């Protein structure tokens, strides 16, 4: 049986169309799949949320690997050796011994202070034996310090030391609000329970005065609190968790814990300079690298972060570098694109905020600011 020329032509055209449709389907499938990390470039392992019995790493806790050197000098365009060096530098700084700077101290600016007079010096062991099991009254933390007989310095009681006076201080305000009457009363009960067995005489401030101070401080804190966030949105192809992790590591970010990576601080105990976040469900998936993500968020806590760490500059620079390498738009919460003029306007507002915090005696990144804005 012979086929006509018309039939052969139609079969040929049909074959071409079928091949074209097949290739288009394959191309569309590959285009829709999330970008995967380059296996030739070293990266940190994707880590899942620890169970309740595990200790969750933070800067001071190790990987929130928070405590490390800021990597402002890492070049975003380097490959292989550069990425490995950046990761190695970040992890080495986490393990390196550091001088602790952020140690909580009772502060008259943000605490209601209670002097406790002792009949005779007491050992640290005795004081520790009678310390309250919880150092919170409602949502407000409190501290107990002793005046070291040898050094003449106020410190949290330690074994092997002698203390001739004590003082306790409850925080007047934090991000949960102002100290209230119920919290103050609970604080009084706990300090009295400490003072009685050691024959200490307490001198509590007037409750109404303490609550009034707390409300005024809370008003100031509410008007001067700022946590800046910008979003990177994929222009076309979505990202896998590994892809995000690999590009973030090039910018000095470490750790992946429930969709969170951090740019560590150089100070032990200090919060991270920046935080990078994405959908935590993607990090918890059976195969996190199959998840398709289109948005990540880069933020920093203004009053919590020391100006010496140049958080705003690093926030802007790393956002722009990630946007370029990951082919993303930089947008605000309303989806509006941010440009140089936008960042300049934000910087101007921050200058005012930093000045106000400084004048109040709680400069950004100080222990007082960290406690007040917690």
- pLDDT > 80? residue 23: no
pLDDT at 99: 46
Percent of the chain at pLDDT exceeding 70: 73
159 three-class SS = coil
In this structure, of 39-48, 210-219, 264-273, the range with the lowest mean pLDDT score is 39-48
Domain boundaries, the chain: 39-104+225-374, 111-171+176-222
Do 39-104+225-374 and 111-171+176-222 fold alike per CATH?
Answer: yes
Whether 354 has a pLDDT exceeding 60, the answer reads yes
Q: What is the rounded distance in angstroms from the CA atom of residue 64 to the CA atom of residue 34?
A: 26
Mean pLDDT (whole number) for 282-288:
80
Band (pLDDT 50/70/90 cuts) for residue 225 is very high
Spatial contact of 217 and 172, defined as CB atoms under 8 Å apart: yes
96 phi-psi bin (left φ>0, alpha ψ -120 to 50, beta other)? beta
Higher pLDDT, 23 or 159: 159
pLDDT confidence tier of residue 281, bands split at 50, 70 and 90: confident
Question: Of the CATH numbers 3.40.30.10, 3.30.450.40, 3.40.50.620, 3.30.1400.10, which one belongs to the domain with range 39-104+225-374?
Answer: 3.30.1400.10
Segment 62-92, tens digit of pLDDT: 333 223 333 333 333 333 334 434 464 444 4
Name the superfamily (CATH) of residues 111-171+176-222.
Answer: ZipA, C-terminal FtsZ-binding domain (3.30.1400.10)
**pLDDT tens digits for 8-19?**
565 565 665 655
- CA 31 and chain centroid, separation: 34
Q: What are phi and psi of 231, to 5 degrees?
A: -120, 140
pLDDT in tens, 119-161: 999 999 999 999 999 999 999 999 999 999 999 999 999 999 9
Would you say the C-alpha torsion 34, 35, 41, 44 has a positive or negative sign?
A: negative
């Amino acid at each position: 049986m012979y086929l006509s020329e018309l039939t052969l032509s139609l079969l040929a055209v049909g074959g071409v169309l079928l091949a074209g449709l097949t290739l288009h389907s394959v191309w569309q499938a590959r285009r829709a799949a999330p970008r995967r990390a380059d296996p030739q470039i070293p990266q940190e392992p994707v880590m899942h949320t620890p169970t309740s019995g595990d200790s969750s790493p933070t800067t001071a806790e190790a990987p929130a690997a928070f405590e490390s050197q800021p990597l402002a000098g890492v070049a975003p365009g380097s490959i292989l050796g550069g990425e490995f060096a950046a990761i190695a530098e970040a992890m080495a700084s986490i393990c390196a011994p550091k001088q602790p700077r952020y140690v909580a101290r009772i502060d008259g600016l943000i605490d209601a202070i209670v002097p406790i007079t002792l009949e005779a010096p007491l050992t640290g062991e005795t004081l520790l034996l009678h310390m309250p099991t919880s150092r919170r009254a409602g949502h407000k933390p409190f501290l107990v310090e002793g005046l070291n007989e040898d050094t003449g310095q106020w410190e949290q009681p330690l074994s092997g030391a002698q203390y001739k006076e004590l003082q306790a201080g409850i925080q007047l305000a934090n991000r949960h609000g102002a100290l209230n009457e119920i919290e103050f009363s609970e604080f009084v009960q706990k300090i009295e329970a400490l003072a009685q067995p050691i024959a200490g005489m307490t001198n509590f401030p007037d409750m109404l005065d303490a609550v009034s101070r707390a409300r005024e401080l809370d008003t100031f804190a509410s008007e001067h609190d700022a946590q800046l966030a910008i979003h990177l949105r994929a222009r076309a192809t979505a990202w896998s968790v590994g892809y995000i992790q690999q590009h973030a590591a090039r910018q000095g970010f470490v750790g992946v814990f429930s969709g969170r990576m951090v740019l560590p601080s150089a100070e032990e105990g200090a919060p991270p300079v920046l935080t990078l976040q994405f959908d935590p469900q993607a990090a918890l998936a059976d195969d996190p690298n199959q998840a398709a993500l289109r948005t990540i968020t880069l933020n920093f806590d203004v009053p919590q972060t020391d100006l010496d760490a140049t958080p705003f500059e690093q926030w802007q620079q790393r956002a722009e570098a990630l946007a370029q390498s990951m082919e993303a738009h930089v947008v605000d919460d309303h989806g509006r694109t941010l440009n140089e003029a936008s960042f300049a306007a934000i910087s101007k507002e921050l200058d005012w905020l930093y000045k106000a915090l400084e004048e109040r005696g709680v400069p950004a990144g100080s222990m007082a600011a960290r406690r007040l804005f917690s």
